[in-house]
């Protein structure tokens, strides 16, 4: 299998954690377009008959998940674009490893992607697709993998061009790289971008302050990841990690890494997601959520009810936001800071509703078709993502 180095790393993590390897949780899941059979090789098959894919799509599972959660989507990608994409379903964070924290998981993912890319010199582009907590892990990993872009200056006297490194976007900015590749799509599904702290961010708690406070107190049962989601971490006196992730923090360029992608998309459940609320997954304030009477009907994508195109943003770093993350006064202020910080880059928002589906109670998993048996109604959402994917 072309990916042995990455497999060795994953095996090392399993040995250290005492987790037994599973044949269903392969490091890389690809499919032969003709038969639909799972294959341990790359999408090009090694026969030389087809063009070698140059675009890597990395999928990341959520909490207590596994690489197999993205099996349906991976299969659709390779069936639709057999000569364009290599789909790599990350395996380095699964089961109880997802309790280790966004930063630890992000470091693992960054190492896994780096090793995979190193083994495939033909790769030129990279995209990420994350579900739930996996979207936050992907945001951390791309900051670790980010390489600054260059500005081309051809104003020299002899007409030659020179290059200067810069994190600030401009018309002449050649753009940053992610693990040496061109960043194209960054997509999240039902990801708690604003965390899970109060404000009906966990719908199953019914907006009860008493229940929200109770869950906040016991969030440690989800390990370090729980602390990150509820903004309870203060490592070495630093602000909570999710607040730091709305800035370019030290050597981790969170916003510059996000900005380097040609496209950022947030898929969100408008209803029936009892785990991740609509506001946190779509990075909006309550009054910015579309009203049901504005929902649209599309026979091709029956569960996609609203699409909000990216809006122009102020690309300059906001020093005020960066200073405020060190002294937030309340949970309200933290939420507002995260909304402002993440909206320094434009997002496309896709709102999904399974209101008429028998699988609506499983909306959090149905949006990604985690299980074809239980979540098949989400297939049109996956097709919507693939149909709009930038090559």
Please name the helix (run of DSSP H) or strand (run of DSSP E) that holds residue 6, with its range, or none. helix 4-17
pTM of the model: 0.83
**What CA–CA distance (Å, rounded) separates 159 from 154?**
6
pLDDT value, residue 31: 41
Q: To which CATH superfamily is domain 4-387 assigned?
A: Alpha/Beta hydrolase fold, catalytic domain (3.40.50.1820)
Please compute, for residue 245, the number of CA atoms within 13 A of its CA located in the half-sphere on the CB side: 26
pLDDT value, residue 201: 65
Angle at 145 between CA 69 and CA 318, to 5 degrees: 105
Closest to 229 in 3D by CA, of 214, 219, 239, 244:
219
Angle between helices 4-17 and 102-118 (to 10 degrees): 150
- Residue 188 pairs in a beta bridge with 130, 266
- Residue 208 pairs in a beta bridge with none
Per-residue pLDDT tens digits of the chain, which is 391 residues long? 343 333 333 434 443 444 433 333 333 444 433 333 344 334 444 445 578 999 999 999 999 999 999 999 999 999 999 899 999 999 999 999 999 999 999 999 999 999 999 999 999 999 999 999 999 999 999 999 999 875 444 444 554 445 455 555 444 344 799 999 999 999 999 999 998 766 566 665 556 666 666 665 666 677 899 899 888 887 777 899 999 999 998 899 999 999 999 999 999 999 999 899 999 999 999 999 999 999 999 999 999 999 999 987 655 545 667 767 877 778 888 899 999 999 999 999 999 999 999 999 999 999 999 999 999 999 999 999 999 999 9
Assigned token pair, 116: 């995979």
Q: Tokens 């602390």 label which residue?
A: 227
Q: Are 329 and 322 in contact (CB under 8 A)?
A: no
**What CA–CA distance (Å, rounded) separates 73 from 76?**
5
CB atoms within 10 A of CB 175: 14
- Residue 127 pairs in a beta bridge with 57
**What CA–CA distance (Å, rounded) separates 307 from 381?**
12
**What CA–CA distance (Å, rounded) separates 71 from 243?**
32
Cα distance from N-terminal residue to C-terminal residue, the chain: 25
Read off the DSSP letter of residue 205.
G
Closest to 380 in 3D by CA, of 352, 356, 349, 348:
352
CA 347 to chain centre: 13
């Amino acid at each position: 299998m072309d990916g042995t180095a990455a497999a060795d790393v994953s095996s090392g993590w399993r040995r250290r954690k005492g987790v037994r390897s599973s044949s269903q949780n392969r490091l890389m899941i690809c499919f032969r377009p003709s038969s639909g059979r799972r294959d341990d090789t790359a999408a090009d098959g090694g026969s030389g008959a087809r063009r070698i894919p140059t675009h890597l799509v990395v999928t990341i599972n959520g909490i207590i998940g596994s690489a197999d959660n993205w099996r349906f989507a991976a299969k659709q990608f390779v069936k639709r674009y057999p000569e364009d994409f290599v789909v790599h379903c990350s395996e380095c964070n699964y089961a109880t490893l997802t309790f280790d924290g966004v930063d630890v998981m992000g470091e693992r993912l960054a190492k896994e992607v780096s090793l995979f890319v190193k083994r495939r010199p033909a790769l030129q582009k990279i995209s990420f697709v994350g579900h739930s907590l996996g979207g936050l892990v992907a945001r951390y990993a791309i900051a670790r993998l980010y390489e600054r872009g260059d500005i081309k200056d051809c104003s020299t006297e002899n007409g030659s061009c020179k290059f200067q490194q810069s994190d600030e976007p401009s018309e002449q900015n050649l753009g940053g790289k992610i693990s040496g590749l061109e960043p194209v799509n960054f997509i999240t599904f039902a990801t708690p971008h604003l965390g899970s702290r109060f404000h009906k961010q966990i719908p199953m708690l019914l907006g009860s302050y008493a229940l929200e406070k109770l869950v906040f107190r016991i969030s440690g049962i989800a390990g370090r990841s729980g602390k990150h989601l509820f903004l309870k971490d203060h490592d070495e006196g630093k602000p909570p990690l999710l607040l730091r992730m709305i800035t370019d923090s030290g050597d981790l360029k969170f916003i510059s890494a996000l900005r380097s992608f040609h496209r950022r998309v947030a898929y969100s459940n408008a209803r029936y997601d009892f785990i991740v609320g609509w506001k946190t997954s779509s990075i909006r304030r309550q009054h910015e959520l579309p009203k049901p009477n504005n929902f649209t009907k599309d026979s091709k994508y029956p569960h996609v009810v609203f699409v909000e195109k990216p809006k122009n943003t102020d690309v300059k770093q906001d020093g005020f936001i960066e200073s405020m993350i060190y002294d937030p006064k309340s949970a309200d202020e933290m939420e507002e800071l995260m909304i402002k910080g993440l909206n320094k880059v434009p997002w496309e928002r896709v709102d999904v509703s399974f209101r008429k589906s028998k699988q609506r109670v499983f909306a959090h998993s149905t949006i990604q078709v985690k299980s074809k048996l239980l979540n098949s109604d989400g297939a049109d959402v996956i097709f919507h993502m693939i149909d709009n994917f930038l090559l």
